[in-house]
Homo-oligomer: A and B are copies of this chain.
């Protein structure tokens, strides 16, 4: 296995963000699928500002990146982040959250919105 090291302080900063279930689930989802904000609002059944604020924290650390596509802003994992290998190793150990996206597709929410 490759040896990755990250300063303790930086790791703690990342874990602080990962200590919230919503953000951690978001990271797991975004690691496999780009999502727009309104999809995440649907998935987490919470308010749009709450989602935006979570995304901002993740973005401030460079863990995710945004990309505007017309009316929508899509978020995805920033795989160029210096710490992505560290993060990836963690996310790999979490169970897939694909079912959450599948629900959206079944509802038709995914297509209609984004």
Q: Which residues of A contact B (CB under 8 A)?
A: 1, 4-9, 11-13, 15-21, 24-25, 28, 86, 89-90, 93-95, 97
Contact = CB atoms under 8 A, between A and B. Distances in A.
**Interface secondary structure of A, over-half rule:** helix
Contact of A12 (B11, B24, B97): B24
Contacts of A1: 1
Given A12-B24, A15-B16, 11 more contacts: A6-B93, A8-B94, A11-B18, A12-B18, A12-B20, A12-B21, A13-B19, A15-B15, A15-B19, A18-B19, A89-B93
A33 B43 CA distance: 43
A17 B24 CA distance: 14
